[in-house]
């Protein structure tokens, strides 16, 4: 070895730095690679838009639950609206109790009115109102992915 020059790294130190740097870069690359591999790019999940059929299926003053779609179609005095049937607490499927006139969650006992207003916890919020419109064929369509402010009714 030549005379120690403290300011200049030795070849060995330089190679150690290069090696450590490569390992760090490889780990970062593996993390990015792993994250993107584990995130599915294509999901075979049902479309957020559910077809609820012709409006005349729902008599005025009725609350109808679509179990498959996880929504309620309500035909109130002011018109149609749709509520998500998924409890805002931890995601259980609520159910309409016609005798009591409330929507209740079987998991932890939350209760909602037929307008989706929270009556009793532990749910933090009421049930969200969902966008409803009529298709060209005159059928009710509900977009489960778009939440709208309450009290927007669809008149047919």
Partner 1 sequence: MTLQDIRDTRVWRSVFRGGSGATNLRRSMAIQQNVFLHLASVKARERALQFSVTWYLGTLSFGTFLILVVTGILLMLYYHPSVPQAYADMKDLQFVVSAGVFLRNLHRWSAHTMVLLVFAHMFKVFYRGAYRKPREFNWVIGVVLLIVTLLLSYTGYLLPWDQLAYWAITVGSNIMSAVPVMGQKVRFLMLGGNTVNANALLRFYVLHCVILPLAAILFIAVHFWRIRKDGGLYTGHKESQ
Taking the C-alpha atoms of residue 146 and residue 128, their distance in angstroms, rounded to an integer, is 9
Between 58 and 112, whose beta carbon lies closer to partner 1?
A: 112
**DSSP state at residue 22:** H
Between 37 and 155, whose beta carbon lies closer to partner 1?
A: 37
Using the contact rule CB under 8 A, the part of the chain among 5-13, 51-59, 77-85, 91-99 near partner 1 is 91-99
Measured from the CB of residue 58, what is the shortest distance to partner 1 in angstroms?
Answer: 26
Taking the C-alpha atoms of residue 12 and residue 8, their distance in angstroms, rounded to an integer, is 11
Cβ–Cβ under 8 Å, residues 83 and 74: yes
Burial class (CB in 10 A: 0-12, 13-18, 19+), 62: middle
Strands (E) in the chain, as ranges, are 49-53, 62-66, 71-76, 79-84, 95-97, 102-104, 111-112, 118-120, 129-134, 140-148
Binder among 45, 56, 136, 137 for partner 1 (CB under 8 A): 45
First-to-last C-alpha distance (Å) of the chain: 92
Using the contact rule CB under 8 A, the part of the chain among 4-12, 17-25, 38-46, 55-63 near partner 1 is 38-46
Measured from the CB of residue 43, what is the shortest distance to partner 1 in angstroms?
Answer: 5
Please tell me whether residue 44 binds partner 1 under the rule CB under 8 A.
Answer: yes
Site for partner 1 in 16-35 (CB under 8 A): 35
Binder among 91, 101, 109, 138 for partner 1 (CB under 8 A): 91
**Which positions lie near partner 1, rule CB under 8 A?**
35, 38-40, 43-45, 90-93, 107
């Amino acid at each position: 070895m030549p005379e120690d020059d403290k300011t200049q790294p030795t070849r060995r130190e330089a190679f150690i730095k290069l090696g450590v740097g490569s390992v760090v870069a490889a780990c970062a690359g593996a993390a990015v690679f792993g994250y993107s591999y584990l995130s599915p790019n294509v999901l075979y999940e049902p479309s957020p838009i559910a077809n609820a059929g012709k409006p005349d299926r729902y008599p005025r003053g009725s609350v109808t639950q679509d179990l498959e779609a996880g929504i309620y179609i309500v035909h109130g005095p002011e018109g149609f609206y749709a509520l998500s049937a998924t409890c805002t607490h931890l995601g259980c499927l609520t159910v309409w109790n016609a005798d009591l006139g409330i929507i209740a969650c079987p998991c932890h006992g939350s209760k909602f009115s037929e307008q989706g207003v929270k009556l009793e916890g532990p749910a933090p919020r009421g049930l969200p109102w969902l966008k409803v419109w009529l298709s060209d064929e005159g059928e009710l369509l509900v977009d489960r992915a778009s939440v709208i402010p309450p009290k927007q009714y669809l008149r047919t």
